[in-house]
Amino acid sequence: MTDILVTKAAVRKLAASLSKIDSSSLRHTDRLDVIADAFGWRTDAFMHALKGNSTAGGKARVAPSTLLAGATLDQLGIRLLDSWMRAISSPSGLCLACGATGSGRTTTLAASARHLEASGRRVYTQDNFPTASHGDGDVVLFGDLRDRTTAERAFGYADSGYLVLAVSPLFTVERTVEVLSGYGMDETRFGVIRGAISQHLVRLVCRSCGTAGCDVCSHRGYKGRTLASHVVRFHGPDDVSEYLRAGDGVWHGLAGDVARKLADGQIDIKEIDRKEGCSGCCPTATIFSPRISWRA
């Protein structure tokens, strides 16, 4: 596929050509001739290139289809967004979106990839994994680290100069590392991890009625969603091992986010109750329990 180069010169030439003739009197094909000529193309080739551009989609310089649209990072309600942005801005390494199925991990990573692409970094997805052996800061948007082979692959990219964005089926980076160790991966490999977000998707209280139910929220009492989340960021291998040894966990951070959103009235306690036990892999019963003193 050849790109049609839209230069100022071509546009000027087109404007000049059209000003010389009464374009409304031209037949469709004649008009196309004028346009193609302005861009320095034969009409049939020009039409072919146009079709190619609009239907072939995602190759080469065009953003992969998964990245074309969607929320921006700052619309997701991520607490410590700045830390996450810094983590994904690392030249290489691995960043994890951790959480239960349906917690919006893929959305977080797609928004992250779009952000990086907008800042000029090349983004690969599972439809077009990179073939070059060294990443030079390119980004790989990975799927789920569901088994050892997949995890090895993701860490392999992270080791060789790519910034890998991957989904973890577990709730925290420490649980993820624990399971990957169980697969037989060596501890030293976890040093490439640059950041992790642990997230739960929670419904936002309807701003019009405050859960009473109204037309705006289709009488559900909730409208839209946000994240209850915590971000950890690592500066290097020592940082990672220190964090894992300390075993502080993400719970205090997550509880803090929940507390703030409860205090703001963005979410309500019923929604938190609903989240209890939403995933077998995390102590949600501990975090998402109304009896813990978040309100303080």
Residues that bind Zn ion (CB under 5 A): 206, 208-209, 214, 216-217
Beta carbon nearer to Zn ion, 101 or 208:
208
Of the pair 32, 209, the CB lying nearest Zn ion is at 209
Cβ proximity to Zn ion, 7 vs 208, nearer residue:
208
Q: Of 103, 254, 98, 238, which Cα lies nearest the Cα of 178?
A: 98
Work out whether strand 193-205 and strand 222-233 pair parallel, antiparallel, or are unpaired.
Answer: antiparallel
Q: How far is the CB of 213 from Zn ion (least distance, A)?
A: 6
Smallest separation, CB 76 to Zn ion (Å): 22
In whole angstroms, give the CA distance from residue 97 to residue 93: 14
Nearest distance, CB of residue 264 and Zn ion, angstroms: 17
- Closest to 47 in 3D by CA, of 63, 65, 28: 28
Tell the smallest beta-carbon distance from residue 31 to Zn ion (Å): 52
Task: Count the neighbouring beta carbons within 10 Å of the beta carbon of residue 122.
Answer: 15
CB of 135 to Zn ion, least distance (A): 47
> Is 146 or 219 the residue whose CB approaches Zn ion more closely?
219
Q: For the chain, how big is the Rg over CA atoms in Å?
A: 25
Question: Quick one: 96 or 205, whose CB is closer to Zn ion?
Answer: 205
Side chain identity, residue 115: H
Distance CA 193, CA 238 (A): 11
